[in-house]
């Protein structure tokens, strides 16, 4: 059965479609036109696993579609790939009426959305997320972009997709590590907005890790609903949307400091959420019992919880200072007040950040 969730943004409104085997059953066709040209943007890993099959399905249904393949990995989420895609689009005479189709995880989604937003001053794009992380978070809300050597997601735009098509069947080929990384963003929603969901995750983790259909569908739908509501209220992150970044200031700095090589995005966010909880504990706004519950849930999903000792702290703090939420050089963090409630906390002192890190060091 197909579930539909709306992102309400006036003229930019769109649907999130969620189901199993949407592509096998051709349920996606409603969102594609035989009179348009499409460019599927994917990576070399997905090419053999899914993209070739998907391309065949499109072609069998007389959809005019071409493909552009880029290198796989967060280290390739950079401006050079944007230039490469644009060059390919120009060589293939992609016009303003044509549509880009992001087929992959968050990296493909973010790069494709960014290209769509700048190519010939902006063309349409569709999100077909294939990782859990992209299905529950990255494909929704129109944040697009690439990394810079000096900071994560430092180049980008807000550019909404025309539709997000989530086929949970794609998750069957995802590695366990990538799947667990996606649950980090799921847990983020629960800690930030929904205590009941947190308790449900504590009980259901085993079924979720094993991709039990009913639980997975409920879980993805729940996350998409939360994100759709927040994006509908605050598309450009003037206030409320910042709450979706719980754990991200600490997490992004871990990714940047390790050159996007040692930690998956969700893994860095998992550590980031613990550090944020520790900060809240130090500031006296979160009880230690709640910190322990957060650690225990992340443990159930086998996510990392310790700050990597090898990261030089001065370097790390300089990355945190460049976070997009900061203003006037002051570090702003999203902190939990209790499970199910986070708030923006301004002007966090460096000593507090350093103490939070020291409280989260891995045991040797």
Residue ranges binding ligand NAD (CB under 6 A): 43, 45-46, 49, 72, 74, 77, 104-108, 110, 130-131, 133-134, 137-138, 141, 143, 153, 170, 173-174, 178, 181, 265-266
Of the candidates 77, 143, 188, 332, the residue annotated as catalytic is: 143
Q: In the complex with ligand GLY, which residue's Cβ is closer, 98 or 137?
A: 137
Q: What's the CA gap between 66 and 245, in Å, rounded?
A: 35
**Residue 241 designated active-site:** yes
Say if residue 261 is exposed, middle or buried (CB neighbours under 10 Å; 0-12, 13-18, 19+): exposed
Which of ligand NAD, ligand GLY, none is residue 241 near (CB under 5 to 8 Å by kind)? Answer: ligand GLY
Which of ligand GLY, ligand NAD, none is residue 43 near (CB under 5 to 8 Å by kind)? Answer: ligand NAD
**Contacts (CB under 6 A) with ligand GLY, residues 92-151:** 137, 141, 143
Q: What's the CA gap between 86 and 92, in Å, rounded?
A: 10
**Which residue from 153, 181, 245, 356 is in contact with ligand GLY, where contact means CB under 6 A?**
245
Q: What's the CA gap between 359 and 306, in Å, rounded?
A: 9
The two three-digit tokens of residue 360, written as one number: 């989260």
**Which residue from 244, 269, 334, 357 is in contact with ligand GLY, where contact means CB under 6 A?**
244
- Interaction between residue 241 and ligand GLY (CB under 6 A): yes
Total binding residues toward ligand GLY, as defined by CB under 6 A: 6
**Residue 143 designated active-site:** yes
Q: What's the CA gap between 103 and 44, in Å, rounded?
A: 11
Q: What's the CA gap between 38 and 58, in Å, rounded?
A: 10
Which of ligand NAD, ligand GLY, none is residue 105 near (CB under 5 to 8 Å by kind)? Answer: ligand NAD
Q: Which of 328, 308, 273, 255 is nearest to 75 (CA)?
A: 255
Q: What's the CA gap between 151 and 303, in Å, rounded?
A: 23
User: Residue 229 belongs to what H/E stretch?
Assistant: helix 213-233
Q: What's the CA gap between 211 and 213, in Å, rounded?
A: 6
**Strand ranges in the chain using DSSP code E only, listed in sequence order:** 3-7, 14-19, 37-43, 64-70, 99-104, 124-129, 143-148, 151-158, 163-167, 333-338, 341-345
Q: In the complex with ligand NAD, which residue's Cβ is closer, 43 or 360?
A: 43
Q: In the complex with ligand NAD, which residue's Cβ is closer, 226 or 291?
A: 226
**Residue 227 designated active-site:** yes
Q: Which stretch binds ligand GLY (CB under 6 A): 47-55, 69-77, 207-215, 237-245?
A: 237-245
Give the residue numbers marked as catalytic.
121, 143, 185, 227, 237, 241, 245, 248, 252, 265
**List of residues contacting ligand GLY (CB under 6 A):** 137, 141, 143, 241, 244-245
């Amino acid at each position: 059965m197909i579930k539909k969730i709306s992102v309400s943004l006036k003229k930019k409104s769109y649907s999130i479609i969620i189901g199993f085997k949407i592509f096998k059953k051709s349920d996606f066709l409603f969102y594609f036109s035989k009179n348009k040209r499409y460019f599927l943007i994917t990576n070399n890993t997905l090419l053999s696993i899914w993209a070739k099959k998907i391309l065949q399905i499109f072609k069998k249904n007389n959809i005019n579609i071409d493909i552009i393949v880029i290198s796989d990995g967060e280290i390739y989420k950079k401006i050079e790939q944007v230039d490469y895609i644009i060059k390919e689009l120009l060589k293939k005479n992609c016009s303003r009426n044509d549509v880009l189709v992001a087929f992959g995880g968050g990296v493909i989604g973010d790069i494709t959305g960014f290209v769509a937003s700048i190519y010939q001053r902006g063309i349409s794009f569709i999100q077909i997320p294939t990782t859990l992380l992209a299905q529950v978070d990255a494909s929704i809300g129109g944040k697009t972009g690439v990394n810079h050597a000096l900071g994560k997601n430092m180049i980008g735009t807000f550019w909404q997709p025309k539709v997000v098509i989530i086929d949970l069947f794609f998750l069957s080929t995802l590695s366990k590590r990538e799947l667990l990384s996606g649950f980090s963003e799921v847990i983020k929603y629960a800690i930030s907005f929904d205590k009941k969901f947190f308790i449900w995750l504590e009980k259901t983790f085993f079924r979720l890790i094993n991709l039990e259909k009913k639980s997975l569908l409920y879980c993805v739908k729940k996350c998409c609903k939360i994100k759709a509501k927040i994006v509908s209220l605050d598309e450009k992150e003037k206030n409320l949307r910042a709450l979706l970044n719980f754990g991200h200031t600490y997490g992004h700095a871990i990714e940047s400091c390790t050159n996007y090589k040692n930690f998956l995005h969700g893994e860095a966010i998992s550590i980031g959420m613990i550090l944020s909880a520790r900060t809240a504990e130090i500031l006296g706004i979160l009880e230690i019992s709640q910190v322990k519950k957060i650690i225990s849930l992340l443990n159930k999903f086998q996510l990392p919880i310790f700050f990597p000792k090898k990261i030089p702290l001065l370097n790390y703090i300089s990355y945190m200072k460049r976070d997009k939420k900061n203003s006037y050089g002051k570090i702003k963090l999203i902190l939990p007040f209790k499970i199910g409630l986070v708030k923006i906390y301004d002007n966090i002192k460096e000593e507090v950040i350093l103490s939070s890190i020291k409280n989260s060091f891995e045991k040797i």
